[in-house]
Amino acid sequence: MHKSKNSKHIGLFIFFGFLLFLLGNQVDELRVYQGASVAVYVIAISSLILLTGYSGQVSLGHGALMAVGAYSAAVARNELHMPIVLTFFVAVITTAIAGALLGSAAARLSGPYLAGTTLALAIGLPSLANQFEVLGGEQGISFDVGYPPQRLGDDFTQYKWFFWIAALTALISMWLLSNILRSRYGRNWRAGRSNEVAAQLSGINTARSKILAFTLSAGIAGLAGALLSMTIGTVSPSAFPLALSFSLLAGAVLSGVSTLSGVMIGAVTLVAIPEIADVVAHRIGSSENVTTNLPGLIVSVLLILTVLFVPNGPVEQHHARAAKRAVNKKS
């Protein structure tokens, strides 16, 4: 049964990979760039779902962990001249180590104390980045992944190359993460989140389990940060503002923080909102100040509506209704 489930999931991911390949060749440059951004947000939101939805730890500083991954990848590329694939591994490993250190402290904290600690990280990281010349200060540093291979043809643009890298990385990451969450580790995280005392009595080392969750979540966030810096071509404090951490949290809530199934909903929403806000602002003839703040307002409204009407996310709500209908039919 387990093997058949794995085969089903592998087939599903291969199908989505083929679909992404077709879409990447059919749409214009803007949509391809947006597709790459969606893939980045899928990875970033999934890291937060693992931490909050499964392990029960609240983070308000995942944007800072993304910045750690982005800076690590850029330094490895610029200073050590590593191949692009290795720079992504460097981003994951470096951020995972940072996450393990932060997770060691997080294991002793809960609720607002943990949220406050991660928030302080998100606020303080830009100032820390300015202290090191190798990180480029406020201007940041470039992150160039190079041109696509010539064998892909002259029509294969730079944005398509970004899209392929980001989409393929997202598919592999989601497949690995979904398998981990269905494993013993995922069950331990859920048990600790539901009832920590009961989990400890059943033999689960909840402190170690929390550190592991934070480490893995941080590594995934670092990978998303490296991919984000790839799409914009640079790494700077302004690319990873505090608002990014809040947007990721909103995306996780919109997706359904307790399941990976709806992560695409949150990612697409975060990418679409700035464009929707721009269209609305132009239609009503608003000032630049309104245009700048409108995306945040839309995210806030969506967040409130989601919490009020679909608190577990649309996908989880659909599954719950389907299960309820199945029970009613049997009865």
In the chain, pLDDT over 70 holds for what percent of residues? 85
39 pLDDT band, cuts 50/70/90, is very high
Tell me whether residue 314 is in a domain: no
Choose the weakest-confidence range: 11-15, 55-59, 304-308, 309-313: 11-15
* Residues near 233 by beta carbon (within 8 Å), at least 6 away in sequence: 142, 143, 144
| Cα–Cα distance, 16 to 1 (Å, whole number) | 23
Q: CB burial class (10 A; 0-12, 13-18, 19+) of residue 37? A: buried
The token pair that represents 290 in the structure block: 């309104």
Total structural domains within the chain: 1
Tell whether 32 is covered by a domain: yes
Q: Does residue 90 sit within a domain? A: yes
User: Is residue 161 in some structural domain?
Assistant: yes
Q: Does a structural domain hold residue 190?
A: yes
- Residue 27 belongs to what domain range? 16-241
Query: Is residue 237, in this structure, part of any structural domain at all?
Result: yes
CA nearest to 260, candidates 167, 176, 165: 176
**What digits encode the pLDDT tens for the residues 93-144?**
999 999 998 888 777 766 677 778 888 888 887 777 777 788 888 888 999 8
At 21 the pLDDT is 64
User: Average pLDDT in the 21-32 region?
Assistant: 72
pLDDT at 156 over 60: yes
Per-residue pLDDT at 227: 96
Higher-confidence residue: 276 or 177? 177
Residue 291: inside a domain: no
pLDDT at 1: 45
Specify the residue for token string 């949290």: 249
- Residue 36 in any domain: the answer is yes
Question: When comparing pLDDT for 215 and 310, which is higher?
Answer: 215
For residue 322, the surrounding DSSP H or E stretch is: helix 314-330
Q: Quick one: average pLDDT of 182-209?
A: 89
